[in-house]
Amino acid sequence: MMLTQPEKHAKELRELLAKYSYEYHVLDNPSVSNDIWDSLLAELKRIEFEHPELITIDSPTQRVGSELLGGFQKVTHKSRMLSLNDVFDRADVEAWVKRMDNLLPGRQHEYFTDIKMDGLACALIYQDGLFIQAITRGDGFVGEDVTENVRTIKNVPLRLIDTDGFDEFLLGRTEVRGEIVMLRKDFEKLNKKRVAAGEPVFANPRNLAAGTIRQLDPQLVAERPLHFRAYDLIRDNVLDLPTNIFTYEVLSALGFTRNQQASVFNNLDGVVKFVDNWDEKRHDLPFNTDGLVIKVNDRAQFTKLGVVGKQPRAAVAYKYAPEQATTMVRDIVISIGRTGAATPVAVFDPVVVAGTTVRHASLHNADEIERLDIRIGDTVVIFKAGDIIPQVQSVVLELRPKNAELFNFGKALSNQYPELQFDRSEGEVVYRVVGVTSDLLLKRGLEHFASKGALDIDTLGEKNVVALVDAGLVNDLADIYSITFGQLLKLDRFAETSAKKLVTAITEKKSPLLERFVYGLGIRHVGIQTATDLINRFNSLDDLSEATIEQLQDIDGIGNVVAESIIAWFADPDNEALIEKFNSLGVKPVYVKKDGRLSGMNFVITGTIQTMSRDQAADDIRALGGTFQTAVAKDTTYLVVGEKAGASKIKKAKEYGINIINEQQLIEMIKG
């Protein structure tokens, strides 16, 4: 006995599978497992195999058809597929609204906004609820018939859902327009597989989606998961769809995926808020976007406003600042991070990417330099997604100058850090300074920061530094400013008086002289004199952090090695974060403008002076624009001779014809 009639059973299976498919691919909320789906599909296939006359065009077994011989047929669109004019800021949006107001004075303002997907436009035709054809945009008038390929897209309904209140859309012709995209997660998965198979990776989801839809073999298309998002619906009777927001409700009711974020606003402020809100959040969307779409919500007004060229007057595309830009690599410098790891950093001609100026980007390690095949002099593509740190995407090989040099990591290390030794262990991609740990580097760094010549923090000497770092109270230089009295008391080394003393000493140094602070940061090759020269030229940490190699080399006494070291330090994201941390803890170094009385004069002190410390004298000289040198050189202007002066310095000074003065004369020069 037959339990069910095959025709009835096949119909039930098709309906059930369509429901499950909708739940899975459109609602993202499946009610059954894949195994159940597979076994029901196998059952349907079996019936269809035994009764081929029962196969229907909307059967899920028909999603993947056979290869198209002879290419795609051209099809004329029933109504033209338009594109949109771009706008870039609020002023552009206001100008657009004004143009519409002039044409339709007294119009009610209502705007419909949605996210603009970066894929390819496609029109799907349904007749009496059944999917019959898919046409690419083509030139807007004539597109190509890609029905068989679109049929493989799992969230495209093969039959429209019959929802109460929307039955009219299941009668006659319904055209649904939307964007075919590849979701980022699917794109990444596919590329991973290609890497594993040793095949070249695809450039981006948009190109891959566009390339896929033009494949002649639907089998291959089915292996590349495409996704359809509807944004428009066209009916012969325009009265079926009074507004764009209602159109979106209909799209959902008929079983399409559409952006849930679409909104309606009755004023421009609302639109601008939507724009700002999505500026950052759009990176969290599952697909790539290239902006937003803003339309007049009322469709009768939309039509009335008409079309100019290829674009409707009643809609615009709001484009966000580009997230890619090209620039030239001027140098590759190496930064030594907190752990002693040597990180190569590309230095560029400054370029604006996604609204901020980019001057450098980490190249991560020697392998990455090799992978990108990046050389000094190359033009590169920089990209930045949202808040993410800028990265080099690729090299524009066509623009490579003939003399572009291969980067030699080992050579660059010994040029920039001749005093250090580096080691790259087996299987590691990173070069590290030999003989240091991050703890040791931090201890040395903090000792230097607190030392007399730098911030001069009382009682923060070697032993206390070791205690603070070992106790885990300090993980970077800025952390000392958040240490509390209570925390110190818990350590063996501290009693009430000593703890209080240290906290007070640290708090007192929240506004250090800028040059001492820059020196204290421990940038390689930046002694106090260089720090002073730097801040005399740049006056603020912000400006110094943005200095170019050329600007740095323009300063007397700063050559390539020092300039590269400064650039490398500021290019390290950890250091950027450190500066921000200082700032948020209320550490505000002060720049004191020098009166310049001693500018151009170079001083050396030999022996001990009585009335002030050597550091104080050096500070005073620098504060007046002079330079404090540690050894007599040809360009020394004055040798100050104190008690127990060194004979060799005096002899050298005489040889060079340098002025020799005593402590009193120096004090008079300082006092002026």
**Near ligand IVH by CB under 6 A: residue from 25, 116, 299, 652:** 116
Q: What is the DSSP string of 528-551?
A: HHHHHHHHHHH-SHHHHHT--HHH
Smallest gap, in angstroms, from Cβ of residue 353 to ligand IVH? 23
Nearer CB in complex with ligand IVH: 97/293: 293
**Near ligand IVH by CB under 6 A: residue from 20, 26, 111, 114:** 114
Nearer CB in complex with ligand IVH: 165/309: 309
Could you say whether residue 180 binds ligand IVH (CB under 6 A)? Answer: no
Residue type, 278: W
**Near ligand IVH by CB under 6 A: residue from 83, 301, 482, 498:** 83
Q: How far is CA 6 from CA 44, 221, 299, in A?
A: 9, 31, 46
Concerning whether 443 is annotated as a catalytic residue, the answer is: no
**Near ligand IVH by CB under 6 A: residue from 250, 293, 369, 598:** 293
Could you say whether residue 179 binds ligand IVH (CB under 6 A)? Answer: yes
3-state secondary structure of 609: coil
- Please work out the total of residues on this chain that contact ligand IVH, with binding judged by CB under 6 A: 15
Could you say whether residue 317 binds ligand IVH (CB under 6 A)? Answer: yes
3-state secondary structure of 623: helix
Smallest gap, in angstroms, from Cβ of residue 313 to ligand IVH? 10
**Near ligand IVH by CB under 6 A: residue from 18, 315, 361, 617:** 315
Could you say whether residue 183 binds ligand IVH (CB under 6 A)? Answer: no
Smallest gap, in angstroms, from Cβ of residue 579 to ligand IVH? 40
**Chain mean position to CA 387:** 5
Smallest gap, in angstroms, from Cβ of residue 217 to ligand IVH? 25
3-state secondary structure of 602: strand
Nearer CB in complex with ligand IVH: 179/619: 179
Per the CB < 8 A criterion, the answer to whether 117 and 28 are in contact is: no
Handedness of CA 354, 187, 292, 25 (dihedral sign): negative
Region near ligand IVH per CB under 6 A, out of 4-12, 309-317, 504-512, 567-575 = 309-317
> Among all residues, whose Cβ is closest to ligand IVH?
121
Could you say whether residue 312 binds ligand IVH (CB under 6 A)? Answer: yes
Residue 3: both structure tokens together: 């339990």
Q: Which residue out of 8, 98, 116, 452 is catalytically annotated?
A: 116
Nearer CB in complex with ligand IVH: 247/575: 247
By C-alpha distance, which of 232, 190, 238 is closest to 211?
190
Smallest gap, in angstroms, from Cβ of residue 407 to ligand IVH? 41
In whole angstroms, what is the distance from residue 196 CA to residue 116 CA? 33
Smallest gap, in angstroms, from Cβ of residue 279 to ligand IVH? 16
Tell me the pairing of strands 173-181 and 85-87. Answer: unpaired
In whole angstroms, what is the distance from residue 397 CA to residue 400 CA? 5
Interface pattern 217-256 for ligand IVH (x via CB under 6 A)? --------------xx------------------------
Nearer CB in complex with ligand IVH: 313/359: 313
**Near ligand IVH by CB under 6 A: residue from 55, 68, 82, 264:** 82
Residue type, 29: N
C-alpha count within 13 angstroms, C-beta hemisphere, residue 263: 15
3-state secondary structure of 619: helix
Smallest gap, in angstroms, from Cβ of residue 7 to ligand IVH? 41
Q: What is the DSSP string of 252-296?
A: HHTT----TT-EEESSHHHHHHHHHHHHHHGGGSSS-EEEEEEEE
In whole angstroms, what is the distance from residue 264 CA to residue 234 CA? 20
Could you say whether residue 100 binds ligand IVH (CB under 6 A)? Answer: no
In whole angstroms, what is the distance from residue 176 CA to residue 170 CA? 12
Smallest gap, in angstroms, from Cβ of residue 258 to ligand IVH? 8
Could you say whether residue 264 binds ligand IVH (CB under 6 A)? Answer: no
Per the CB < 8 A criterion, the answer to whether 579 and 541 are in contact is: yes
End-to-end CA distance of the chain: 118
- Spatial neighbors of 310 by CB under 8 A, at least 6 apart, are 82, 83, 140
Region near ligand IVH per CB under 6 A, out of 116-124, 427-435, 446-454, 527-535 = 116-124
In whole angstroms, what is the distance from residue 266 CA to residue 295 CA? 12
Interface with ligand IVH by CB under 6 A: which residues?
A: 82-84, 114-117, 121, 179, 231-232, 293, 312, 315, 317
Residues assigned a catalytic role: 116
